[in-house]
Amino acid sequence: MSKKILITGATDGIGLETAGMLVSMGHTLLLHGRNPEKLEKVKKTLAALPNAGGIEAYRSDLSRPADVSAFASAVMEKHRTLDVLINNAGVYGAANPVTPEGLDVRFAVNTVVPYLLAKRLLPLFGSSGRIVNLSSAAQAPVDLRALAGRVGLSDDAAYAQSKLALTMWSRRMGLALEGRGPAVIAVNPASLLGSKMVKEAFGIAGKDLRIGAEILCRAALSAEFAGVAGLYFDNDSGRFASPHPDGIDAGKCEEIVRAIEAILTEKLE
């Protein structure tokens, strides 16, 4: 059956590859991008694929929570239901890592905004829905001051902390919704896949992007991921696995959610 799937960061890398696979399967795609020309070009390319179903495009800068609120409202105005949200957009290196709201761009794009999007779109999901969040093998204990933009970090540290923070809110939200809302799953798509992020950060060609796209399609659609509440799938080992120990610490996960909520209250006022 055709599903309605929203994927962020669909204009490059793993997101673009995943969007292409999903479109070719006949699913309805809500594509997100930040660059209007790139987004329009991707929409046209995907619409020309055999078997393409409906495709819509939404533009939003995911480093700006207020912009994302408007993005979520635009989706909700057009749609009463959504089957899958793939929070794929992410950032590693940044020349200027501080956003206009004073957040580190890694925490904004990789942690806070995916939470905001999931929370805002929650009313569209039934209990068979799925929220797939792009985690990483890079995970490090979260400095709450850095999450709130009060101290700066290296690219490495900000990225690894932002990905563990995302894995932690995924667990908290997934367990809270168990049996009555969408499955919330954090997925490491495999390490060092050959996207522009990996090429720019590590100067290597990287592995086939299809490895990441295939696991995201499985997480979005296949029965093995149905009803999975707050689990972490590690595609380096090809199985559900334990994230960093903080990622399954209920108290710490709760603390991360509280910190994100406080940031959103402050930044969206």
Specify which residues 185 forms β-bridges with.
132
Region 2-21 residues binding ligand NAP, contact defined as CB under 6 A:
9, 11-15
Of residues 107 and 225, the one with the C-beta less far from ligand NAP: 107
Task: Give the one residue of 82, 91, 185, 217 binding ligand NAP; rule: CB under 6 A.
Answer: 91
Closest CA to 9 of 27, 41, 37, 32: 32
Number of residues binding to ligand NAP, judged by CB under 6 A: 29
Q: Does 52 bind ligand NAP (CB under 6 A)?
A: no
Q: Provide the 3-class DSSP secondary structure of residue 207.
A: strand
- End-to-end CA distance of the chain: give it in Å, rounded: 41
> Is 99 an interacting residue with respect to ligand NAP (CB under 6 A)?
no
Query: Cβ distance 185 to 228 under 8 Å?
Result: yes
**Ramachandran sector of residue 154 (left: φ over 0; alpha: ψ -120 to 50; beta: rest):** beta
Nearer to ligand NAP, 198 or 259 (CB): 198
63 lines the binding site for ligand NAP (CB under 6 A): yes
Minimum distance between the CB of residue 172 and ligand NAP, rounded to whole angstroms? Answer: 19
Stretch that binds ligand NAP, among 21-29, 34-42, 75-83, 237-245 (CB under 6 A): 34-42
Within residues 127-166, the interface with ligand NAP by CB under 6 A covers 134, 136
Rounded to whole angstroms, what are the CA distances from 76 to 18, 86, 125, 203, 252? 23, 16, 11, 40, 32
Smallest distance from ligand NAP to CB 223, Å: 24
CA distance 236 to 258: 30
User: Which letter does DSSP use for residue 83 in this model?
Assistant: S
Output the smallest distance, CB 230 to ligand NAP, in A.
19
Of residues 85 and 198, the one with the C-beta less far from ligand NAP: 198
88 binds ligand NAP (CB under 6 A): yes
The tokens of 227 are what? 């009803």
Contact 19, 34 (CB under 8 A): no
Shortest Cβ distance from residue 82 to ligand NAP (Å)?
A: 19
By CB under 6 A, is residue 243 in contact with ligand NAP?
no
Residues 108-126 as b/e (b if ≥16 CB within 10 A, e otherwise) read: bbbbbbbbbbbbbbbebbe
Cβ proximity of 18 and 211 under 8 Å:
no
Identify which range of 28-36, 73-81, 124-132, 219-227 contacts ligand NAP by CB under 6 A: 28-36
**Listed residue (244, 262, 248) closest to 136, CA to CA:** 244
Site for ligand NAP in 162-221 (CB under 6 A): 188-189, 191-193, 195-198
Binding site for ligand NAP (CB under 6 A): 9, 11-15, 33-35, 38, 61-63, 88-91, 109, 134, 136, 188-189, 191-193, 195-198
